[in-house]
Amino acid sequence: MFVNVIAGVDGFDGGRDAVALAMALGRGRGRLTLVTAYPADRRHSPGFEAVQRAEALRVLEAARMEAGVEAELLALPDRSPARALHQVAEERVADLVVLGSAHHGPLARIVLGDVGRVVVHGAPCPVAIAPKRFRGASPRTIGVGYDGSRESRTALEVARRLAEEEGSALTLYVVYEIPPLPMVPVAGSTTSFDELVAGRRRWAQELLDEALAGLPARAAGTAVRGRPAAELEAAAAHHDLFVVGSRSWGPVRRVVLGSTSDHVAHHAPCPVLVVPRPAEAAAEPVPTTTTAVAAG
């Protein structure tokens, strides 16, 4: 599925994690490009920039050698690593950009730093983020957040194709949220709180059943009551890869994180794949019976 993969390398553990995840998702089926950026400055002599470039290429070669993978090495003179990755992804029509986590934060968790956040927001293709110290293989279990929006349907289709290609188990998650008690109508209302809960549970289950009907028989799903961000983070602990979509507004074919997908991308204990908005996406209302879980 991913045959033109770009991995961001920074010379630290995050770059190694990104290369490892790029290998796991690409599986050597196509082209892998390792990209780094170095701070070019016109005030410096050409000789100084040549030294910077040589050091950047050394970092890339070290990452390639450590991973034992065939890859193109690309060092770009740019003070913004995020801009450099966007540029390469657009020029080469990349299928996937892969990032590692920031240096700080807990092990085996995703912690997006400033560069990672900028790369994810506005990326022209799916972005995969590796947790710290990731050294895994191809995903055997894939989870996906789903709310019925076009963005989440796109995320589901990517997850389905990847699961089919990898022979992975696929699980859908629909999270329905009950408003706080003060927000529940009381005076003059003909609907009790229990009826409201039952109605939202039923809506979520119907949405889930409809999605599962179009998937292979081995796909599974669950409707969960709670806060979407927290519930999807918890669900991610049971998977090798978790897929979320972009939010329902913003440029088409671009990644724009909403609050839920942003939380998952920052805190999940497994790799996260963020899928950009589909080209045909149009403005559509967020479902009133649940909080958007895949589109954020």
What does the pLDDT profile of the chain (296 residues) look like in tens digits? 899 999 999 888 889 999 999 999 987 778 999 999 998 776 667 788 889 999 999 999 999 999 999 999 999 999 888 899 999 999 999 999 999 987 554 444 454 566 777 787 888 899 999 998 898 889 999 999 999 988 899 999 999 999 999 999 999 999 998 876 555 555 555 567 788 889 999 999 999 999 999 999 899 999 999 999 999 999 999 999 999 998 654 444 444 456 788 889 888 999 999 998 775 544 444 444 333 344 44
CATH of the domain at 277: 3.40.50.620
Read off the DSSP letter of residue 111: -
Give the chain's domain count. Answer: 2
**Both structure tokens of 23:** 């290998």
Are 241 and 211 a contacting pair, CB within 8 Å?
no
Same domain, 173 and 35: no
Strand 127-129 versus strand 272-275 pairing type: antiparallel
Beta bridge partners, 145, equal: 173
Same domain, 99 and 143: no
Same domain, 131 and 195: no
Gyration radius of the chain's alpha carbons? 21
Same domain, 77 and 43: yes
Last residue of a domain, one of 111, 137, 163: 137
- CA angle, 255 as apex, 252 and 258 as ends, to 5°? 105
Same domain, 7 and 119: yes
Range list of β-strands (E), 20-115: 31-38, 72-77, 96-99
Same domain, 239 and 147: yes
Same domain, 85 and 172: no
pTM of the model: 0.85
Name residue 252's amino acid.
V
Query: Can you say whether the dihedral through the CA atoms of 158, 160, 162, 164 is positive or negative?
Result: negative
* Region at 273 (left for phi over 0; alpha for psi -120 to 50; beta for the rest): beta
**Both structure tokens of 230:** 């927290």
What domain range includes position 158? 139-296
Name residue 231's amino acid.
E
Last residue of a domain, one of 137, 156, 173: 137
**Both structure tokens of 188:** 């003059």
Last residue of a domain, one of 137, 163, 184: 137
